[in-house]
């Protein structure tokens, strides 16, 4: 199992499939517990992630960790990744062609880990995985697409610009944890749409 994730990791680290490979310091493969039944998907690495080669280790990562802990998740026991594995210059949003070039890695991660639920963090992941828009209206919900469950919430970095979202993210993670608990016990969860 982990062999397959290691294989992805190795390919990501040396990937030159899009032009972000030219400006990065390090590519940032997904990280965490391969046995996790939830995967958190962000947008793309920022400066700290680029320097360290690990996802969510900067300011947004701090907020993510805090919200995970609040909801009773152990960060080491979940799997965290991004739509795009290399930092876009100046933290701009990843372009459509960059997202397309990088998509196979995310698809493989999801295929290997087979999470019960995928937690979408913010608009880029929402758009890439579910063709969604306006996360702020749709957050806090579970959506089913092609047999896969998704939980939709705001991006931790949004909290930096809008402090009111800090508690929103935490409360959403509590909802996610409760839903996961139900799924683990074989109960149904309420699905939107």
Dihedral (C-alpha) 119, 123, 124, 126: value to the nearest 10 degrees?
A: 50
The piece of 66-74, 98-106, 117-125, 165-173 that touches ligand SF4 (CB under 6 A) is: 98-106
- Of 45 and 132, the one with the shorter C-beta distance to ligand SF4 is 45
Distance CA 43, CA 3 (A): 25
CA distances from 60 to 47, 92, 151 (A): 11, 15, 19
Check residue 45 for interaction with ligand URA (CB under 6 A): yes
Check residue 132 for interaction with ligand URA (CB under 6 A): no
Q: Residue 49 binds which one of ligand URA, ligand SF4, none, with CB within 5 to 8 A depending on kind?
A: ligand URA
The piece of 42-50, 103-111, 112-120, 135-143 that touches ligand URA (CB under 6 A) is: 42-50
Among the listed residues 50, 98, 109, 172, the single contact to ligand SF4 using CB under 6 A: 98
Closest distance of CB 139 from ligand URA, Å: 16
Distance CA 6, CA 11 (A): 9
Distance CA 82, CA 99 (A): 10
Phi, psi (degrees; rounded to nearest 5) at 116:
-65, -35
- Of 158 and 180, the one with the shorter C-beta distance to ligand URA is 158
- In terms of Cα–Cα distance, which of 79, 73, 162, 64 is closest to 114? 79
Q: For the sheet with 79-82, list strands across it.
A: 31-32, 79-82, 38-42, 117-121, 148-153, 141-145
In the structure encoding, which two tokens stand for residue 183, read together?
């799924």
Check residue 125 for interaction with ligand SF4 (CB under 6 A): no
Q: Residue 56 binds which one of ligand URA, ligand SF4, none, with CB within 5 to 8 A depending on kind?
A: ligand URA
Residue numbers at the binding site for ligand URA (CB under 6 A):
42-46, 49, 55-56, 60-61, 82, 157
Residue numbers at the binding site for ligand SF4 (CB under 6 A):
12, 15-18, 20-21, 27, 84-86, 98, 101-102
């Amino acid at each position: 199992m982990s062999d397959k994730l290691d294989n992805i990791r190795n390919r990501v680290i040396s990937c030159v499939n899009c032009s972000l490979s030219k400006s990065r310091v390090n590519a940032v493969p997904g990280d965490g517990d391969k046995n996790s039944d939830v995967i958190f998907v962000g947008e793309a690495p920022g400066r700290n992630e680029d320097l360290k080669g690990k996802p969510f280790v900067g300011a947004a990562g701090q907020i993510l960790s805090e919200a995970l802990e609040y909801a009773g998740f152990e960060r080491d026991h979940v799997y965290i990744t991004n739509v795009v594995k290399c930092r876009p210059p100046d933290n701009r949003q990843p372009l459509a062609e960059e997202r397309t070039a990088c998509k196979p890695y995310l698809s493989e991660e999801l295929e290997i880990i087979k999470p019960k639920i995928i937690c979408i963090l913010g608009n880029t992941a929402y758009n890439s995985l579910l063709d969604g828009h306006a996360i702020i209206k749709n957050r806090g919900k579970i959506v089913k697409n092609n047999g896969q469950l998704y939980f939709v919430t705001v991006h931790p970095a949004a909290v930096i610009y809008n402090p009111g979202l800090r508690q929103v993210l935490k409360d959403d993670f509590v909802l996610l944890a409760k839903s996961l608990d139900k799924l683990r016990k074989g109960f149904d969860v309420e699905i939107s749409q």
